Amino acid sequence: MSLSFHPVRDDFGAEVTGVDLREEMPPEVFRHVYDGLVRYGLLLFRNQNLGPEQEIAFARRFNRIRIYLGNDDTKMVGHPEINQLGNATDENGKPIAFQNKTGIEWHTDGTGFPYPPVSTVLYCVAAPAKGGETLYASGKRAWDDLPDDVKQRLEPLKVRYSFQNLYKKLTTASDAAKTELDDNEKSQAPDVVHPLVRTHAVTGHKALWFTEAEMACFEGMTREASAELGQEILGYISRPDYVYAHAWKPGDLMIWDNRQMHHSPTPYTYNNEVRLMHRISGEGDEVPC
């Protein structure tokens, strides 16, 4: 079977067939996959049977891998590049994964870092029969559809992001034992300022690019005014007709282009079933502009 892309929606997303990710992709095949990621923003590979080394090797083709600060108890033992997400436990009932209990929380990965990731990889090990979906929406689509007067108002804006704030918010809303970074970790995560509207380095297309939960404020605005504007922007990004909800099956691997895509978890409704996801995120080589 040859490599093929099958669109999921008109505006973004494609299922990829003809690729076994256990095997190293030749350079010419990888170029097609990377071009597909840029074109579609989101790629789905089904029925993959991967070990940790294979997941990491695939993710590393797109950008350097970032080992995230904090939550060492939910990183895969022996493979700290892999963050385990969900409600899985070990044989003693101890959680081995980070369970996000905040519900809907739209974001794009890495806004709080100087060099955000090109891509994020999410691989499904176990999934409930119902629930645990991940939502996706295109920041490019959201930007393209805005009225001109709104574009003129939003395009100059800069956002101050704080990974420290985000870490505390998410861990407080979960069962994580560690809800604050230590002083050494804080020194590695200073606030950064990035544009609200990002220009894609490959295509030149503009996109809304925003993580409300990681925002400290818009530069030059109060926190109260920033919070109000943040909700307005999330409304543009997450219009129901813009959203694709992915119902996971074991063996699904999704990779998305963080320069143009947003995603969100869904409410935790599957406490009697197991969900276990492997997440790998990276570090790009470009400062958003």
Query: For the chain, how many structural domains are there in total?
Result: 1
Domain assignment present for residue 289? The answer is: no
CATH number of the domain where residue 256 is located: 3.60.130.10
CA terminus-to-terminus distance, the chain? 39
Rounded to an integer, what distance in angstroms lies between the CA atom of residue 252 and that of residue 83?
Answer: 16
Rounded to an integer, what distance in angstroms lies between the CA atom of residue 109 and that of residue 125?
Answer: 21
Domain assignment present for residue 183? The answer is: yes
Domain assignment present for residue 275? The answer is: yes
217-258 pLDDT tens trace: 999 999 999 999 999 999 999 999 999 999 999 999 999 999
- Our measurement of the distance from residue 85's CA atom to the centroid of its chain's CA atoms, rounded to an integer in Å, reads 12
Confidence of residue 100 (pLDDT cuts 50, 70, 90): confident
Domain assignment present for residue 13? The answer is: yes
Run of H or E residues at 218: strand 215-218
In 3D space, the residue among 41, 49, 55 whose CA is nearest the CA of residue 7 turns out to be: 41
> Is residue 91 packed enough to be buried (19+ CB in 10 Å), middle (13-18) or exposed (0-12)?
exposed
Q: Is the pLDDT of residue 72 over 90?
A: no
Domain assignment present for residue 192? The answer is: yes
| DSSP-assigned letters across all residues of 248-265 | --TT-EEEEETTTEEEE-
149-206 pLDDT tens trace: 999 999 999 999 987 666 666 666 556 555 666 666 665 667 899 999 999 999 999 9
Domain assignment present for residue 48? The answer is: yes
**pTM for this model (two decimals):** 0.92
Domain assignment present for residue 98? The answer is: yes
What pLDDT is attached to residue 191? 84
Average pLDDT over residues 75-81: 94
Domain assignment present for residue 153? The answer is: yes
* Domain ranges, residue 60: 4-283
What pLDDT is attached to residue 167? 66
